[in-house]
Structure formats: C-alpha cells, structure tokens
C-alpha cells in the first residue's frame, strides 16, 4: 500500500528533478523492502508507519547533531517535512490531555504520581502513533501535578 504510493511519488520527484524528495523516498522504499524481507510477508500499515517514524527519528537526531551548520539543518528539515507528510496527523496537547483523561477514567486508575507508570502504560498503548511520546509524557506530568 505505501510502496505503491512511494513509487508513484518517486517517479514524480524524478520528473520534477527534486533530488531531496527522491533521496528521502528512496530511503523509505529501501527501509520498507528490508522490513518486508525481515518479516517474510507484506508489511501492515502500522509496520510501514513504524519504518517512517524510525527514519524521521534518525533525521531529527541528525538535526540535533548538526548545530551550527545551517545548510545541513535546512536540508534535514526539508527531509523531515517530506517524511511527516507520509504520517497521519499528530494530536496536539489539548487533544492528548482530553484523551489521557478519558483513558484514565476508562481504566479506573487514579491520576497520582504513585500511579504514573500505570497511567503511562495505558495511555501509550492507546495513543501509539497518534501523538509524540514526549508530548504524552509532558501532558501526563502536568495532569499529575494538578
């Protein structure tokens, strides 16, 4: 499913002579092909998204390490934007806070510092891929201190 879309996007990037987009898509196709061979079957949508998230995480780490090199940071930011276009929309802090409250209420766990581990486990299982883990942790911490 993602492979077909990526191949079509790669052809469009080649026609537009967009080398950065072509490089990123080639990297994604390679990652998905590796995952396909590793699993011995077609990747599910979640597994495809995991590959994209992994590549995005590596680019973000490269941005952190490229401090002072504005040209490299600019290109890496473009690559990150291309990767993010293949991911579903991420939740913002208000949406995460509402979801955390609903999940905690449903699980019947009290929002206390003592129960932070249980809360995080339940929330991360429910919101995996829908919101950034650091954002979830920050929101949970702010709710615990209320």
Q: Among 84, 110, 129, where does a domain finish?
A: 84
- Express each pLDDT in 81-130 by its tens digit: 888 888 878 777 788 788 888 887 787 777 777 777 777 888 887 777 77
Neighbours of 85 (CB within 10 A): 11
**CB burial readout 128-139, b (16+ within 10 A) else e:** eeebeeebbeeb
Please choose, from the candidates 71, 88, 80, 64, the residue with its C-alpha nearest in 3D space to the C-alpha of residue 21: 80
Alpha carbons 85 and 143: distance in angstroms, whole number: 31
The domain that contains 12 carries what CATH number? 1.10.1510.10
Give the 3-state secondary structure of residue 9: helix
Domain residues for the domain of 125 are: 93-145
Considering only residues 60 and 103, tell me which one the structure prediction assigns the higher pLDDT: 60
Q: Can you give the pLDDT at residue 16?
A: 92
The domain total for the chain is: 2
Q: Is the pLDDT of residue 15 over 90?
A: yes
| Residues 28, 79 within the same domain | yes
Please list the residues that pair with 131 across neighbouring strands: 128
Overall pTM > 0.75: no
pLDDT band for 146, please (50, 70, 90 cuts). low
How many residues are listed for the chain in this entry? 146
| Residues 104, 52 within the same domain | no
* 45 phi and psi angles, rounded to 5 deg: -65, -40
Mean pLDDT score, 40-52: 84
Range in 6-20, 31-45, 127-141 with the lowest mean pLDDT: 127-141
CB 22 within 8 A of CB 13: yes
């Amino acid at each position: 499913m993602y492979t077909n879309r990526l191949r079509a996007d790669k052809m469009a990037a080649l026609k537009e002579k967009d080398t950065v987009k072509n490089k990123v898509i080639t990297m994604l196709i390679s990652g998905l092909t590796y995952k396909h061979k590793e699993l011995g079957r077609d990747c599910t949508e979640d597994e495809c998204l995991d590959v994209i998230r992994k590549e995005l995480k590596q680019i973000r780490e490269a941005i952190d390490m490229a401090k002072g090199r504005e040209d490299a940071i600019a290109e890496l930011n473009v690559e990150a934007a291309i990767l993010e276009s293949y991911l579903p929309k991420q939740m913002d802090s208000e949406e995460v806070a509402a979801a955390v409250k609903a999940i905690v209420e449903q699980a019947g766990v009290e929002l206390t510092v003592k129960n932070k581990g249980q809360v995080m486990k339940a929330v991360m299982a429910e919101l995996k891929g829908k919101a950034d883990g650091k954002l979830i942790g920050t929101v949970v911490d702010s709710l615990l201190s209320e």
